Structure 1
Amino acid sequence: MKLSAGTSTPTDPAAGVDAQPTTLPAAGASATIAARLDRLPTSRALWKIIALISLGGLFEYYDLFFTGYVAPGMARSGLFTPDSLGLFASLAGIKVAGFGTFVFSTFAGLWLGVVLFGQLADRYGRRPVFNGSLVWYACSTTIMAFQHTGEMVNIWRFIAGVGFGVQLVTIDAYISELTPLALRGRAFSLNQFVSFCSVPVVALLAWLLVPAAPLGLDGWRWVVLIGSAGAVLAWLLIRQVPESPRWLALHGRAEEANTITTDIERRIEAETGKALPAFHVEAPEEESTGQFREIFASRYGRRTVMLSVFNMAQVIGFYGFAAWVPTLLIARGINITHSLQYSFIIAIANPFGPLVGTYFADYLERKTQIILGLSVMGAAMLGFAHATSPVLLIALGVVFTLAANIMSYAYHSYQAELYPTRIRARAVGFVYSWSRFAAAFAGLAIGYFLNLGGALAVATFIAIAMVVGIAVIGVFGPSTKGIALERISH
C-alpha cells in the first residue's frame, strides 16, 4: 500500500524544502522519514556522508589485509616459536601453529565481537557504535604493536578483533538507511572503493617496511602503527556524520530524525537549485525495538540460513586469496622479496573493482552481481594454480581481486537490504559472523591444502566454495533491485 505525499503530511514536499513538516506525527514517523530519504536525488552532500562513513571501513580493511602482508616480518621476529607463543602453542593440537595462531586470533576475535556486540547498533544507534569501535581499534592495535612475545601479540590481536569486529556490520546498516532507493548499489560501491584503497597502501608499506627496521623498530610494527594513527585521524573527521534518521524515528525520536533529514534536504536543494520531488510513503515498518529471535522467524529465517551459508563460502575465496597471496606466490616459486612486490601490484587492483561496479551497481540485480563475481573468482583461482609466468600470475591475481571486490560491495548491500531497520544490525552481524568463523578455520584449511597439494589443491578448495556460494544465492536469494527497504522487509 502506498500513501500520497499529501496523505502523509499536511504540506506538499514538491513545493520545496520549506514545505517540509517541522514536526512529525508519532504514528508512521519512521515510514515518512524513509520515504523522504528514498526520494532524494544524487548530490555531493549525500556522497560526502557516504565517503565519511566509509573511512571507518577503510581501517578494518587495512587491518584485515595487513595480516597476510606482515606475516614474513612477524615470523622473522621470532614471535611464532613455541616458547614465544605461550598458551597459544597448545593450539598445535588442532593444527594451529606458527603464524596460523595470529590468523586464528584475528578472526576468532572478529567473530566473538560480532556475536557479542552486533546488536548494540540496533539498541544504541549506529553513530555511537561506529565511533566507539574505531577508537577501540586504534587503542588495541597500538598496544599490540609494542608486544614482544607471540602470546601477547595474539591476545591483543584478539582484543582488537572483539572491539572493532562490529564496524562493518554497523557501516552496512548505516549506509543502507541513509542512502536513497535509487543509489543504494552505488553507495556501497563507493564505500568499498574507499575501504579497498587501504589495500594497496598496506601492501606498499609492507613491501617497503617489513624487510627493514626504521629507527630500530621492526618494519611490521610500523605498518600496524601507521594504521592506528590513520584511524585516529579518521575518527576526528567522521564525528560530523549524523545518526541514521530511520533508526531515530523507529525508536521514538521523531524530532531528531526530522531535524537531520530536513538538514540533508536543505543542503541538497541548495546544491541542486531545485525543489525536491514528492515522496510516497510505503506501508510503515513495525515500530518496535526488535528481538534477536526475529531473524529466525518465518519471515526472515530462510534469508538468515541462506546468508549464513553464503558468508561461510565466500570468505574462503575472498580472504583465502587475499591473506595468503604472498605465501601462494612463494609456493609458485617466487622469492619473498618478489612475492611482496607482486602482491603490491595485485593489491593496486583492489579499489578498482567497486569503481567499475558504479557503472552497473543499480542497474543489474544484486544477486546477479554476486553470482558473476563468485564465478570469475573460482575460474581465476584455478588459472592461478597452473600459471608459471610472473606476468600471468599477476594478471590472474588482478582478475581475481577485481571480481572479489565487485562481489564484496554487492553482497554487503544485499544482506543489509534483506532485514528491517529494527533488527538490521544484529541480523547482518549474525550472518556476517559466519564469515569470521569460517575465515578462522579456512586459514587452517588453506595451510593444510597448500602442504598437501600446493597451489592447485588450494585453488580447488576455493573453487568448490565458490560453487556453494553461487548455489545458495541463485536458488534462495530474493530480488532487491529498485525496491524500497520497507517493502523488502514485508
Structure 2
Amino acid sequence: MRHRTCTSPCGVSSLTFPAKMKSRRIFGFSLSLILINLASIMERADENLLPAVYKEVSEAFNAGPIELGYLTFILKFVQSIASPVAGVLVLHHDRPVVLAVGTACWALSTSAVGLSQRFEQVAFWRAINGFGLAIVIPALQSFIADSYMDGLRGTGFGLLSLVGAIGGIGGSVLATVMAGHEYWGIPGWRCAFILMASVSLLIGALVYLFVVDPRRDPLVTHGGDDDDTERAISVAKSTAIPSSVWSNSWLAMKSVMKVRTFQIIVLQGIVGSLPWTAMVFFTMWFELIGFDNNSSAALNSLFAVGCAMGSFLGGFIADRITKRFPDSGRVMCAQFSAFMGIPFSWILLTRIEPSVDNWNAFAVTLFLMGLSISWCATCANNPMFAEVVPPKHRTMIYAFDRAFEGSFASFAAPAVGFLTEKIYGYDSESFKSANASAQGALALSKGLFMMTVIPFGLCSLFYSPLYVVFKHDRDSTKLACSKELEDRDRVI
C-alpha cells in the first residue's frame, strides 16, 4: 500500500499514514463526524449513569454520601491521571483506533458495575471505567479541533457538547426511570448499566470501521494538494532524526506545559470543575426533598437541556464576538458564564423552598442556570487550546488539561459528602422518614452551596490574565509554524 505523511502545519508527524482516505458522507454530512458525535453521546451517557441511581446504589450497598462521593472520585481521579496516555497514543496511532479501544474499555467496565455484588467491586470497575474515558475524551476533542477552522471551532465544540449532552440526558433519564422497576427479577438500575454498555460497544466498533482521522482526510488536512504531501515526505526523509515513542511524547509534554495560556486555563479549571463534580448529588437531593424518580429525572433533564443549549450557544456567540474582539472575546464570554453560577446557585439552593410543590420553580431555575453556566469549555478553553500549540500537540494539550483539572475536581464529590455528613449533620436514616429526609435535603443543599458559589467566583477571576497572555501565545505559535514551513521550503 502506498503511504503518505500528514502535512499539517508545524511539522510532519513521525508516523507515515496510509494514503489519504476521504470520509464518507451521508446526506451531505461527514460520516466520521456523525460517528464521533455518537461516541460523545455514549461517553456522556455513561458518565451520568451512576449519579442518576445514587439512591438505589446507596440502598443496595448500604453506602452513605461519603462512599457515593468516593465512587465519583475514583472515576474522575483515574480519568484525570490517565489522560496523558491519550496524548501519547494519538502521537503514534490513528485516532479511530484509540477511540475504539477506549470505548471498549469503558463499555466492559460499565457492564461489570451493573453485575457487581459488593461495593468494592463497584469501586474497582469505576476505576477501569475512568481509564477508558481518559483515552476517549482528549482524542474526541483533538478530532474536533482538527476538523474545524479557527473561526468556527467554538461552534464545532459547541455541537459536540450539545449532542454529548443529549447522551447525558438519555443516560440519566434511562437510569432514573429504569431504577424504579425490576426486569426479569433484576433491579432496573443494573439493567440500565448492561444496556448502555452494549450500545457503547456497538458505537466503538462503528468508529473503528468507518471513521477517518482528519490527518488522513484530504478535505480537512491542512496542507493542500498531493504535491505538498510528496514534498513533506521528502523533507521528512532528509531531516528525520531517529527518536523513540517516549522521547517524542516527552518533547510534546514539555512543549505543552510551557504554554502560559494552558497554565492559566488549567488553574481556573481546577476550581471551575468543582461545582460540576458536586452537582452529581442533584438527583439524590431532589429525592430527599420528596420528588419521585420521574420528577427527579425531569428536573435533571431540564438542567441538562439548558447546559446542552448553553454550550452550543456559548461557542456560537464567542465565534461571533471574536471576529470583533479577536484577543479578548472568548475570555469575556467565559468570565460571564462562570460568574452566572453564583446567583443561580444561590437561588436554587437557598431561596426556593425545598418542597415538591415548587417543581416549576426548580425547573425554570435549573434550565436557565444550565443555559448560562455551560459556556466556558466551548466558548474559550477548547478553541483557545487549539490556537496556542501546533496541531500535532493538540491531543496532548487536551489530555493534560483533563489530567490537572480532573485530578483536583475529583475531590469535589467526597468533599460534598464530608460537608453534608460531618459539618451539616446528614443522617444516613434520611430515606426512612419524611422528617429525616427533609433534614437530609437541607444538609445536602448546604454542602452543595459551599462547593458551587465559591469555586464559580474564583473561576471567573482566574480567567483575567488571558486578556494579555492569550494573544502572545497565539501569535508565537503562528510565527513558529510559519518559520518551520519556511525552513522546509529551503531544504527542498
TM-score under structure 1 length normalisation: 0.74
Question: Does structure 1 residue 459 correspond to structure 2 residue 449?
Answer: yes
Matches within 5 A, 1:38-437: 45=28, 48-78=31-61, 80=63, 97-238=66-207, 239-245=209-215, 257=216, 260-261=217-218, 290-292=248-250, 295-296=253-254, 300-321=258-279, 323-330=280-287, 333-337=289-293, 338-357=295-314, 359-364=316-321, 365-386=329-350, 387-388=352-353, 389-410=358-379, 411-437=381-407
Deviation, structure 1 residue 299? 8.4
Q: Which runs of 5+ in 1 are unaligned?
A: 1-21, 35-42, 82-95, 246-256, 266-283
What residue number does 1:84 align with? Answer: none
SS of 1:324's partner is helix
What residue number does 1:448 align with? Answer: 418
Is the alpha carbon distance of 1:79 and 1:447 closer, same or farther for their aligned partners in structure 2, counting shifts above 3 Å? closer
What residue number does 2:228 align with? Answer: none
Q: Distance in 2 between matches of 1:355 and 1:298?
A: 27
Q: Distance in 2 between matches of 1:23 and 1:215?
A: 53
Indicate the larger mover: 125-134 or 470-479. Answer: 470-479
Is the alpha carbon distance of 1:487 and 1:243 closer, same or farther for their aligned partners in structure 2, counting shifts above 3 Å? same
SS of 1:31's partner is coil
Q: Distance in 1 between matches of 2:267 and 2:150?
A: 27
Is the alpha carbon distance of 1:489 and 1:404 closer, same or farther for their aligned partners in structure 2, counting shifts above 3 Å? farther
Indicate the larger mover: 192-201 or 231-240. Answer: 231-240
Deviation, structure 1 residue 62? 1.1
Q: Distance in 2 between matches of 1:458 and 1:424?
A: 34
Matched letter for residue 151 of structure 1 = E
Q: Identify the match of residue 7 of structure 2 among 22, 29, 32.
A: 29
Is the alpha carbon distance of 1:318 and 1:226 closer, same or farther for their aligned partners in structure 2, counting shifts above 3 Å? same
SS of 2:263's partner is helix
SS of 1:360's partner is helix
SS of 1:242's partner is coil
Deviations 1:373-416 (A, max 9, x none): 11112221111122123322222211222223333323333334
Matched letter for residue 416 of structure 2 = I
Q: Distance in 1 between matches of 2:320 and 2:416?
A: 36
Q: Which runs of 5+ in 2 are unaligned?
A: 13-25, 223-234, 242-246, 322-328, 425-442, 482-492
Deviations 1:32-61 (A, max 9, x none): 999xxxxxxxx9756553332122222221
What residue number does 1:487 align with? Answer: 478
In percent, how many aligned pairs have the same letter? 14
Q: Distance in 2 between matches of 1:466 and 1:376?
A: 8
Q: Distance in 2 between matches of 1:334 and 1:436?
A: 32
SS of 2:449's partner is helix
Q: Distance in 1 between matches of 2:261 and 2:470?
A: 12
Q: Distance in 2 between matches of 1:299 and 1:175?
A: 22
Q: Distance in 1 between matches of 2:479 and 2:452?
A: 32
SS of 2:395's partner is helix
Matched letter for residue 447 of structure 1 = G
What residue number does 1:254 align with? Answer: none
Contact 2:157/2:382 (<8 A) preserved:
yes
TM-score under structure 2 length normalisation: 0.74
Is the alpha carbon distance of 1:32 and 1:335 closer, same or farther for their aligned partners in structure 2, counting shifts above 3 Å? closer
Indicate the larger mover: 142-151 or 118-127. Answer: 118-127
Instruction: Give the aligned CA root-mean-square deviation in angstroms.
Output: 3.6
Matched letter for residue 330 of structure 2 = R
Deviation, structure 1 residue 488? 8.2
Q: Distance in 1 between matches of 2:11 and 2:250?
A: 24
Q: Distance in 2 between matches of 1:76 and 1:63?
A: 21
What residue number does 2:17 align with? Answer: none
